[in-house]
């Protein structure tokens, strides 16, 4: 098998049918193969009982499946599980499963590394190694579904390694595959795509007609500080980014999320809260305040009192906001940390 073989998990059912029938297999086999991969989330064809041995052997020979394998797993005391996956070319990526009372969320990677260079991010320091294909993106969810016996995956967030909108076509196809009613059948409303602020792609995404949630990493209320930690802000400053966010919310009728990591002494003062509220007051949005991960050496979280004060200032000004609980604090929770540790 060469690396030119297709990744099976990245086919829509129609594409799978065309590919199989072209090779002489009956069309109905496509539905069975799709069902085993996406609905039953098998990790190898040995588990696919109703497929003839000849088809299994042929698939093994002519396609790539699975698209990744588990290399390492860390489990937090709060139930959060972090996975390190190996890919066919030896690269590694991370995904996280976050269990909650009524939901199971999987956070997936969309690139190996990232070109965006955000200073607070371990992945950003690696640079971009390569794009993930749709199969590699959704296989993270399928693998978690296969290994997590406590219930179905209900939510997917594209917030792991990489900038999803810089791998636009693959990210869109992955969303559509996850939504396929014959597959995992996850509602678009339970999927979130995060971006550091690629303005043209935000505008393009608004036209796709997918009722997903868009989460924009803001992290600072002015250009000077945002550019210092997020180089993308020099290309698309707030004067361009915020109108694109407002248009997105208007065009899609979806409430947008702003992610704001609270860092002690950097962006957590009363004035910062007032300035932030002023800048986003006309945008249909929710602000997620995220006290930075306390395992980080460089940045410290504000005190609980300062976090409450920041939140109150936003809420008093009519901004919907909440503080996001830190999950997986006792494992390598932040994106890129587990890979970094593994690679030494
Ligand atoms: S925070 Fe996201 S966009 Fe920024 S460098 Fe890390 S992975 Fe890339």
Residue found under tokens 């915020």: 242
Confidence (pLDDT) at 337 = 65
Q: Give the model's pLDDT for residue 91.
A: 97
Q: Domains of the chain (ranges plus CATH)?
A: 8-62 (1.10.150.530), 68-343 (3.20.20.70)
Would you say the CB of residue 291 lies under 6 angstroms from ligand 1? no
Give me the catalytic one of 91, 121, 335, 342: 335
Residues listed for the chain: 344
pLDDT digit string (tens) for 147-158?
Answer: 877 789 999 999
φ/ψ of 290, rounded to 5, equals -125, 100
- Would you say 114 and 162 are in contact if contact means Cβ atoms under 8 Å apart? yes
Peptide bond into 66 cis (omega under 30): yes
Q: Is 193 in the pocket of ligand 1 (CB under 6 A)?
A: no
Phi-psi map region of 90: left, alpha, beta (phi>0 left; psi -120 to 50 alpha): left
Q: What is the pLDDT of residue 332?
A: 62
Cα-to-centroid distance, 121 and ligand 1 (Å):
6
Per-residue pLDDT at 147: 87
Cα–Cα distance, 104 to 120 (Å, whole number): 27
Residue 1, pLDDT score: 46
Quote the CA–CA distance of 165 and 169 in Å, as a whole number.
8
pTM of the prediction?
0.94
Cα–ligand 1 centroid distance for 50 (angstroms):
43
Q: Residue 333 has what pLDDT?
A: 56
The end-to-end CA distance of the chain, in Å, is 31
- Per the annotation, the verdict on 43 as an active-site residue is no
* 183 alpha carbon, distance to own chain's centre: 19
**93 touches 136 (CB < 8 A):** yes
The yes-or-no answer on residue 15 being catalytic is: no
Instruction: Given the residues 91, 94, 118, 121, select the one marked as catalytic.
Output: 94
- Strand 128-131 relative to strand 111-113: parallel, antiparallel, unpaired? antiparallel
Q: What pLDDT is recorded for position 340?
A: 67
Please give the backbone phi and psi of residue 243, each rounded to the nearest 5 degrees, phi first.
-60, -35
Helix (H) or strand (E) holding 337: helix 337-343
Q: How far apart are CA 259 and CA 231, in angstroms?
A: 17
Which parts of the chain have pLDDT scores under 70?
Answer: 1-3, 294-297, 329, 331-338, 340-344
Report pLDDT digits (tens) over 296-315: 567 888 999 999 999 999 99
Residue nearest to atom 4 of ligand 1 (CA): 118
Q: Which ligand 1 atom minimizes the distance to the CA of 124?
A: 5
171 neighbors 26 (Cβ within 8 angstroms) = no
Give residue 255's Cα distance to chain centre.
Answer: 18
């Amino acid at each position: 098998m060469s690396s030119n073989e297709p990744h099976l998990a990245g086919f829509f059912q129609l594409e799978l049918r065309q590919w199989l029938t072209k090779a002489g297999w009956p069309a109905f086999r496509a539905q069975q193969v799709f069902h085993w991969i996406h609905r039953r989330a098998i990790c190898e064809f040995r588990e696919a009982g109703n497929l003839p041995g000849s088809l299994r052997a042929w698939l093994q020979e002519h396609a790539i499946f699975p698209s990744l394998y588990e290399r390492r797993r860390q489990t937090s005391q709060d139930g959060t599980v972090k996975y390190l996956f190996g890919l066919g070319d030896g690269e590694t990526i991370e995904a996280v499963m976050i269990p909650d009372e009524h939901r199971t969320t999987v956070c997936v990677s969309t690139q190996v590394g990232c070109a965006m260079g955000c200073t607070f991010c371990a992945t950003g320091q690696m640079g971009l190694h390569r794009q993930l294909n749709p199969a590699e993106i959704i296989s993270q969810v399928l693998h978690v579904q296969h290994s997590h016996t406590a219930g179905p995956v209900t939510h997917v967030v594209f917030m792991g390694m990489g900038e999803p909108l810089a791998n636009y076509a693959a990210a869109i196809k992955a969303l559509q595959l996850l939504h396929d009613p014959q597959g995992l059948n996850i509602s678009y409303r339970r999927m979130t795509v995060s971006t550091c602020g690629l303005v043209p792609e935000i505008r393009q995404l608004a036209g796709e007609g997918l009722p997903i949630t868009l989460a924009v990493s803001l992290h600072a209320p002015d250009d000077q500080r945002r550019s210092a930690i997020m180089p993308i802000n020099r290309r698309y400053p707030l004067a361009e980014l915020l109108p694109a966010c407002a248009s997105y919310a208007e065009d899609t009728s979806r409430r947008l999320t702003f992610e704001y990591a609270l860092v002690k002494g950097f962006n957590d003062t009363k004035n910062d809260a007032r300035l932030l509220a002023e800048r986003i007051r006309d945008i249909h949005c929710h602000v997620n305040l995220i006290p930075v991960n306390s395992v980080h050496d460089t940045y410290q979280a504000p005190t609980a009192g300062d976090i409450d004060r920041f939140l109150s200032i936003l809420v008093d000004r009519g901004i919907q906001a909440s503080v996001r609980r830190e999950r997986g604090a006792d494992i390598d929770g932040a994106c890129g940390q587990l890979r970094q540790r593994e690679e030494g």
